[in-house]
Structure 1
Amino acid sequence: MRRAVLFDLDGVLVDSRSAQLGTLAGFATSALGRRITVADLPAAAATTPREQVLAGLGLRGAINEDSWDAATATASLHTEVFAFVVDTLTALRAAGVGTGIVTLRSRRRVGWLLAPDILEMLDTVVCFEDAAPKPAPDGLLLALGQLGVAPRDAVFVGDMDVDVHAARAAGVTAVGAGWGFAGPAALTLAGADLVLPHPAELADVLLLLVGAERSRQESQRS
């Protein structure tokens, strides 16, 4: 039986809070023609739709995506994956568990956040342009279809309420990443099946959830 663990990207695998805030401030500075710093952004800017944040700063209308790309690329230069990511993906793949990400990022921007060696550890990457965005379940179902995994045999790890709602709509076990943007309380309220406040022993937890821990232990004994 094939199993899979899917992840959101920002806040779950990538520590991108500073980059997201830097993108907003850099784009606003360029568009408004005056200096906007991260301190000028509202407290919830990292979890608020960008259009709403920019409108609050006085910028209304369509966003120039080329300018947004430039701000994103610059702000993402020093963004790194969390320390647990390589070991977790390695353990999942060693146990025969499929891995992937389902993100609201465009495919182009994913490559700015993940190094090639990390991307090579993922069996599938579903981006904004591939399916209807979360909370719709389309992206999760597309990823599972590509992996040949039934929803009941999959877990989705996300850090926002839309991630939880998408997982539940897809029939996938929803794991809340409490170390991410929204925090444990919001993920519990959204209805996550399990909320982890930190990623300690994440691989072991995920293997248990997809029923692969026994297979890994048997493999280690043989």
Structure 2
Amino acid sequence: MHPFHTVIFDLDGTLLNTLLDLTDSVNYALSLHNLPGRTVEEVRTFVGNGVGQLVHRAVPDGTSEALESSCLADFRAHYLLNMEHKTAPYPGILDLLDALGNAGLSLAVVSNKFDGAVKGLCQTYFGTRIPVAASIGESQGVLRKPAPDTVFRALSELGVSPNGAVYVGDSDVDIQTAHNAGLPCISVSWGFRSRAFLAAHGASTIVDTPAALQKLLLGE
């Protein structure tokens, strides 16, 4: 008997390293409006609360609401067409997903990235390992994380109970999301936040490799 029947994953920084494509699209949008670009490390600290907050943090302080809105629209348009150039699963992730699937666990993705991008990336990189129907991003009428709405929608689409489900993510937002959904949380240290940062923000369980995560999820 495995300790969990369902695993709800965050996407960026947990399953996929999307940082370089995100940075390219941020800087493309900024350059269109003659705004200064951002480094990869700056963008790393900006992600996690949806693309609206990503762009808000990327534009200079004092940027007008209208200009910020234009940057956001330009970012979204560019990212949808360019989100698969430099993005890749973290080493060991595909083996992890295969092992979980072979063990009969239900898998889903919830993300603060906009819904079309989430579904597109999951289909491209994971195929049938994670059903597209259980890949959920930010959309109208569904509160983004740390609200638990996307988690509850994923559980509903999978047709499973929250009892026996676990949430896996790489950020403080994910820790808060799991708490708000009433799920245990496993934090991963290979993503956009460090082990020290996760511990300081209340992480109770931290793993450093997909192999270590697999052992926890399957009770090996």
TM-score for both structures, normalised by structure 1: 0.81
For the pair 1:203 / 2:214, whether they are aligned, the reply is yes
Q: Which has the larger radius of gyration?
A: 1
DSSP 3-state at the match of 1:120: helix
Q: 1:169 to 1:53 in 2, by over 3 A?
A: closer
State the alpha-carbon separation in 2 of the partners of residues 20 and 37 from structure 1. Answer: 12
TM-score for both structures, normalised by structure 2: 0.81
Q: How many matched pairs?
A: 205
**Where does structure 1 differ by over 6 angstroms across 4 or more consecutive aligned residues?**
none
Equivalent position of 1:186 in the other structure: 197
Equivalent position of 1:24 in the other structure: 26
* Identity, % of aligned positions: 27
Q: Which amino acid aligns with 2:169?
A: G
Where do 1:32-71 residues align within 5 Å? 32=34, 36-39=36-39, 43-48=41-46, 49-56=53-60, 59-61=63-65, 62-64=68-70, 65-71=72-78
State the alpha-carbon separation in 2 of the partners of residues 178 and 46 from structure 1. Answer: 14
Deviation per CA, 1:77-107: give whole Å up to 9, x if none: 2211122121111111111100010001122
Q: Which amino acid aligns with 1:100?
A: A
Q: 1:57 to 1:31 in 2, by over 3 A?
A: farther
Equivalent position of 2:50 in the other structure: none
Equivalent position of 1:217 in the other structure: none
Equivalent position of 1:87 in the other structure: 95
Equivalent position of 1:220 in the other structure: none
Q: 1:56 to 1:66 in 2, by over 3 A?
A: closer
Deviation per CA, 1:144-195: give whole Å up to 9, x if none: 1222332231111111111111101111110111111121122222222311
State the alpha-carbon separation in 2 of the partners of residues 5 and 53 from structure 1. Answer: 31
Q: Name stretches of at least 5 consecutive residues in structure 1 with no aligned partner.
A: 214-222
Equivalent position of 2:163 in the other structure: 152
Partners of 2:93 and 2:210 within 8 A in 1: no
Where do 1:87-106 residues align within 5 Å? 87-106=95-114
Q: Which amino acid aligns with 1:102?
A: V
- Within the candidate set 10, 13, 24, 1:11 is matched to 13
- Within the candidate set 134, 149, 171, 1:138 is matched to 149
Partners of 2:118 and 2:135 within 8 A in 1: no
State the alpha-carbon separation in 1 of the partners of residues 211 and 187 from structure 2. Answer: 13
Q: Name stretches of at least 5 consecutive residues in structure 2 with no aligned partner.
A: 47-52
Please tell me the root mean square deviation across aligned C-alpha atoms, in Å.
2.5
- Within the candidate set 123, 130, 148, 1:122 is matched to 130
- Within the candidate set 98, 112, 115, 1:107 is matched to 115
State the alpha-carbon separation in 1 of the partners of residues 5 and 130 from structure 2. Answer: 14
Q: Which amino acid aligns with 2:150?
A: G
State the alpha-carbon separation in 2 of the partners of residues 145 and 115 from structure 1. Answer: 20
